[in-house]
Amino acid sequence: MCGILAVLGCSDDSRAKRARVLELSRRLKHRGPDWSGLYQHGDCFLAHQRLAIVDPASGDQPLYNEDETIVVTANGEIYNHEELRKRLPGHRFRTGSDCEVIAHLYEEYGEGFMDMLDGIFSFVLLDTRDGSFIAARDAIGITPLYIGWGLEGSVWISSEMKGLNDECKRFEVFPPGHMYTSKGGSHERWYKPPWYVEAIPSAPYDPLVLREAFEKAVIKRLMTDVPFGVLLSGGLDSSLVAAVICRHMAGTRAAEQWGTQLHSFCVGLEGSPDLKAAKDVADHLGTVHHEFHFTVQDGIDAIEDVIYHTETYDVTTIRASTPMFLMSRKIKAMGVKMVISGEGSDELFGGYLYFHKAPNKEEFHRETCRKIKALHQYDCLRANKATSAWGVEARVPFLDKGFIDVAMGIDPEWKMIKPDLGRIEKWVLRKAFDDEAKPYLPKHILYRQKEQFSDGVGYSWIDGLKAHAAEHVSDKMMQHAEHVYPYNTPATKEAYYYRMIFESFFPQNSARLTVPGGPSVACSTAKAVEWDARWSKNVDPSGRAAVGVHASAYDPTAPSLLDAKHRMTEVKASGLTVST
């Protein structure tokens, strides 16, 4: 991932202003340590910090059309750029960069080209012919983007909040799937899939169609000119990503450059569930596996850096971001600049354990829609910013536009969790890859039940965080929490501790408003409480609230499922209280 910063209509074209824009752009250098660029046209500045993944030699930004009247600074990957180039026969391209097509598509189609892009992106395009500009963000919000406004009427666009928070009177998250135009002066939604209005789909479930759509989504993400690998936790989602890559990598551009043996990466406390499961998967697939260990103290020592880079005080995001942050540093040290990860599957297929309580298919589907719409503030934010902190790019095939269309078009009756029929969470996905003739994964991996990432790296991780927070936040501080933090009042000492750190970096009211509001409830959603009121008593926002579901929802003698009795023993041994 790269870092972009644009200052548009700032009424100051002095050298001092240029120097200030450069200074602010350098706050994003961790996202793009390979090269820096800055373009100025009057009172407009487009800055770029590059992470070179495709065409490292000549793809530096900003990018231009033939006569340099159209200028683009972009962060992302356009997977269909070669196909789009063929649709622009009259245009001359300067680089092999996948993002250069944006300038030429605008020249050819105006603002109507957005849905032609297959990929992840945030960009600002300046048309110097009339001084107009557009800014846009990808469909789901996999790439981060913020927009702010200065007192003198300027508009600021930045990949991260830290690029604009000191200069803008007000700023906010740039909404996913939207475009902002200087001519209109407002956001306009360009991504309008049928599922977005939460209409209940009716397409029959076809496992082969789902499998082929996912394989296509994974394969297109092998577009790279630099070393890459896969983040492998040993859970269903990351294991499927790795299995598909191993099966299809031969003959790809990546294989021609880096060989056909995939490198996999996993992080955890010594003896954690994820380390054990990932090793099992890696041995089965034959990957070159890299296992990274960290201690609870290592994680605690990194918390301030994690909050600075992720720009959030959300409890579950910080818990999960910290191990990913530590692992990304190790990955970068090995010379790897791109990884493929498994985010998004739980939102598409209702993989969170509270979906067991969904009363009907309509409620099930609407909740998956709401979860997908919020991804940019949670898992997408974590995956992008925790890796980009060290100049590593994370690609997420489950959130491919085409795959989402297929997955969200399935009649949700097929996604419903029905233990009596042997359908555990994400059954439609598991069944699609349950190939007896040529197995993608062993049965015990294919049907492994979900772990929260922050639990899977080691059960003592969360407990260690809570204990550390309790040393820094007193009971008296909690008594006055609602007066100190009236918005998103911390409900626990851990939440209060993260909030203190966040506000030391980002004290502006606009900054605290970028984190979603509402009470901290079981499974991170009020819908869980609506479906089962018992979860309202749990103030911890992790999936631990559903431990009873996790441990006992299924027949422990079922041969195709994880042994629930073993899971219960494992939880008890960790020192946690188990509710049955």
Tell me if 155 sits within 8 A of 1, measured CB to CB: no
* DSSP β-bridge partners for residue 174: none
Residue 36 assigned to a binding site: no
Contacts of 377 (CB under 8 A, 6+ apart): 141, 173, 312, 314, 515, 516
3-state SS track over 437-475: CCCCCCHHHHCCCCCCHHHHCCCHHHHHHHHHHHHHCCH
- Per the listing, tokens 């300038």 go with 103
- Give the DSSP letter of residue 423: B
Residue 88 assigned to a binding site: no
Tell me if 410 sits within 8 A of 201, measured CB to CB: yes
88 — phi, psi (to 5°)? Answer: -125, 60
Residue 164 assigned to a binding site: no
229 — phi, psi (to 5°)? Answer: -160, -170
- H helices present in 130-190, as ranges: none
> Do the bridges between strand 263-268 and strand 228-231 make them parallel or antiparallel, or are there none, so unpaired?
parallel
What tokens does 298 get?
């290592």
What tokens does 247 get?
């099966």
Residue 231 assigned to a binding site: yes
Contacts of 61 (CB under 8 A, 6+ apart): 2, 37, 48, 50, 72, 73, 74, 97, 99
What tokens does 539 get?
């103030």
What tokens does 521 get?
């409830």
Tell me if 314 sits within 8 A of 491, measured CB to CB: no
User: From first to last of its 580 residues, what are the pLDDT tens digits of the chain?
Assistant: 799 999 999 888 788 999 999 999 999 999 999 999 999 999 999 999 999 999 888 888 999 999 999 999 999 999 999 999 999 999 999 999 999 999 999 999 999 999 999 999 999 999 999 999 999 999 999 999 999 999 989 999 999 999 999 999 999 999 999 999 999 999 999 999 999 998 999 999 999 999 999 999 999 999 999 999 999 999 999 999 999 999 998 878 778 888 889 999 999 999 998 899 999 999 999 999 999 999 999 999 999 999 999 999 999 999 999 999 999 999 999 999 999 999 999 999 999 989 999 999 999 999 999 999 999 999 999 999 999 999 999 999 999 999 999 999 999 999 999 999 989 999 999 999 999 999 999 998 999 876 655 566 877 999 999 999 999 999 999 999 999 999 999 999 999 999 999 999 999 999 999 999 754 433 455 677 788 877 766 666 665 555 455 544 333 333 333 333 333 333 333 333 322 2
H or E element that contains 384: helix 379-388
CA-to-CA distance for 171 and 156, rounded, in angstroms? 8
| Total-model pTM | 0.92
| Confidence (pLDDT) at 525 | 56
- Per the listing, tokens 């107009």 go with 132
338 — phi, psi (to 5°)? Answer: -140, 135
3-state SS track over 210-241: HHHHHHHHHHHCCCCCCCEEEECCCCHHHHHH
Residue 150 assigned to a binding site: no
List, in order of start, the domains of the chain with CATH numbers.
3-192 (3.60.20.10), 197-573 (3.40.50.620)
CA-to-CA distance for 386 and 320, rounded, in angstroms? 9
**Residue in 403, 280, 388, 419 with CA at minimum distance from that of residue 349:** 403
Helix axes 296-310, 379-388, angle to 10 degrees: 100
Residue 119 burial (C-beta neighbours within 10 Å; 0-12, 13-18, 19+): buried
What tokens does 319 get?
């818990």
- For every residue of 323-366, DSSP letters joined together read HHHHHHHHHHHTT--EEE--TTHHHHHT-SGGGGG--SHHHHHH
Catalytic positions, please? 2
Tell me if 355 sits within 8 A of 417, measured CB to CB: yes
CB atoms within 10 A of CB 526: 14
Going across the sheet that includes 44-50, the strands are 35-41, 44-50, 3-8, 155-158, 146-149, 170-173
CA-to-CA distance for 47 and 390, rounded, in angstroms? 20
